[in-house]
């Protein structure tokens, strides 16, 4: 099971890589826009330095045609590093790009997946990760849980090395639904993580434990004081 951060914010990445077992960072042009006017490649290299060489960094192309996407991919690899997972949308030119990048031995994340058929094509093309858009699928009246389950079944049936990297979440329940139906990885904004860890009942449990301890050993004491 892999948890990834869907952000390009340096402060958030530093904070949550210290707290959580983060397997990688994902980004797209909309996420990059939130950071304002930045030196794009330097920013991505800084993210790499934070997460380390063993975590995965996913960077999306911007061009929409075959030649343009290939050039974007080549520029990303040349200016960040060769380990980057190039995010390619699963459409007609995108699938052609995925095949070519995999022919070259480049890491690929197939993104903008809304349907099982898109996923099946990306799996057949050799994508390392496929990224179904959970919340967006729900908004289109597509059952993402059932779709992810079937994607996982296809990966198992074909003995593919492709992993499902579920994305586009609005709440913790959606993340759970993706993982419970076969997604090996999930990428989420820090708001989802904060939502999961800020339940009042968690804080109350900690408060109660502290009060019980202090009732026995004195106010303000911990085990380290014994």
- Distance, in Å, from the CA atom of 2 to the CA atom of 23, rounded to the nearest integer, reads 6
- Distance, in Å, from the CA atom of 54 to the CA atom of 112, rounded to the nearest integer, reads 25
Based on the residue annotation, tell me whether 96 is a catalytic residue of this protein: no
Q: Which listed residue (14, 87, 96, 170) is catalytic?
A: 87
Which residue numbers are catalytic? Answer: 87
């Amino acid at each position: 099971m892999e948890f990834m951060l869907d952000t390009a914010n340096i402060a958030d990445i530093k904070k949550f890589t210290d707290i959580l077992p983060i397997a990688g960072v994902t980004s797209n042009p909309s996420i990059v826009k939130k950071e304002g006017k930045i030196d794009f490649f330097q920013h991505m290299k800084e993210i790499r330095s934070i997460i380390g060489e063993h975590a995965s960094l996913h960077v999306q192309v911007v061009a929409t045609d075959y030649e343009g996407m290939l050039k974007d991919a080549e520029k990303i690899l040349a200016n960040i590093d060769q380990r980057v997972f190039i995010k390619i949308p699963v459409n007609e030119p995108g699938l052609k790009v995925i095949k070519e990048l995999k022919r070259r031995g480049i890491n690929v994340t197939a993104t903008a997946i809304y349907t099982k058929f898109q996923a099946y094509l990306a799996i057949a093309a050799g994508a390392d990760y496929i990224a179904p858009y959970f919340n967006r699928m729900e908004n289109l009246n597509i059952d993402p849980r059932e779709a992810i389950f079937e994607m996982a079944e296809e990966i198992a049936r074909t003995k593919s090395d492709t992993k499902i990297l579920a994305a586009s979440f609005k709440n913790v329940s959606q993340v759970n639904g993706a993982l419970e139906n076969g997604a090996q990885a999930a990428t989420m904004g820090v708001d989802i993580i904060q939502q999961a860890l800020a339940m009042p009942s968690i804080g109350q449990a900690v408060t109660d434990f502290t009060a019980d301890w202090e009732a026995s050993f004195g106010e303000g004491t911990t085990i380290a004081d014994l």
